[in-house]
Amino acid sequence: MHYHFLGDTDIKVSQICLGTMTWGNQNSQSEAFEQLDYALDQGINFVDTAELYAIPPELSTYGATETIIGNWIKKSGRRSEIILASKVCGPTAWCPHIRKGEAKLDHKNIFSAVDGSLERLQTDYLDLYQVHWPERGTNYFGKLGYEESSYDHATPIEETLNSLGELVRQGKVRHIGISNETPWGAMQYLNASREQLLPRIVSIQNPYSLLNRTFEIGLAEISHREKVGLLAYSPLGFGTLSGKYLGGTHPEKGRITLFPHYQRYSTEQGIKATKAYVALAREHGIDPAQMALSFIHSRPFVTSTIIGATTMEQLRCNIASMEIDLSEQVSEAINDIHRKLPNPCP
């Protein structure tokens, strides 16, 4: 396993981060425990979760993932072996079960959220605490185009950062990060930390995959030069880049099989690109999922790649992607497909 510094901190996190959002819905507690034990035995020390999880968000599963992780921490006694990250929700009108659908990124909501997370996780601190999505109308969760929004007059980023800084001063959180952010948002956080001498964001968790390389357009340079490393989520595009959904197949317990409204990576152009990437991998004798993950690992602005698995077979395959070094020929072929079918699923 390879390790990278988390931003400008002295913390080293594994190149692969264990994603957890299926635990408490698609995965049982015992399955989650097995994944955690195996991942740590393979050198993974980075675990990412959120108050929102399990996915899809529902009242019955709110906080379930954190509860499972907390139960594992209590049972295993291995809290000191992991870098534990969680997230506070942005505005939740679409999740009325979270703070009555009125969650904001202000002092009251942030402190309420972190206290709930710490209790469920059965720990007294988080290594990384992230803003899950912005409290303003902008481009995230696959939204294209920019329109003026009423959220533009929501909690100022400076106020959010002040609240996060207070968590750091109190010792509840070691470091802070952002997620689903834009270049403007990232620079607002960085500028506010400089001007007001507040804690600096050390990471940004955004989608990044062969089907969505939009991070490279405006955020990659910020990430690289400012040492705000990318924690790449959805590196397999809801599992589509494994090729398992091609030809109209619907594997039992697959995410898109269970939740067919998750169509972000199943557009006409997305399927066309997926076919090309899967064919390229097979032509060179590489597992398609491992090729897709290996590409992400190789990017200089990526601190860690967040993988999620519902079976141990998937988890073993995904972790083994660390052993794959893409040849120059394969890398150039990937870029050739990207030039022909750029970012089909932003």
Active site residues: 53
Biggest CA–CA distance in the chain, Å, is 54
104: exposed, middle or buried (Cβ count in 10 Å: 0-12, 13-18, 19+): buried
Residue type, 210: L
38: β partners: none
Structure letter (DSSP) for residue 247 = G
Q: Rounded distance, CA 305 to CA 319, Å? A: 10
Q: Rounded distance, CA 85 to CA 49, Å? A: 6
Q: Rounded distance, CA 20 to CA 310, Å? A: 9
In this structure, the number of other CB atoms found within 10 A of the CB of residue 101 comes to: 12
14: exposed, middle or buried (Cβ count in 10 Å: 0-12, 13-18, 19+): buried
Helices (H), the chain: 29-41, 64-76, 107-121, 157-170, 183-196, 215-218, 220-225, 255-258, 268-283, 288-297, 312-319, 328-340
Give me the phi and psi of 24, to 5 degrees please: 105, -5
In this structure, what is the dihedral angle of CA atoms 93, 59, 260, 151, given to the nearest 10 degrees? 10
Would the CA dihedral through 292, 313, 205, 89 be positive or negative?
positive
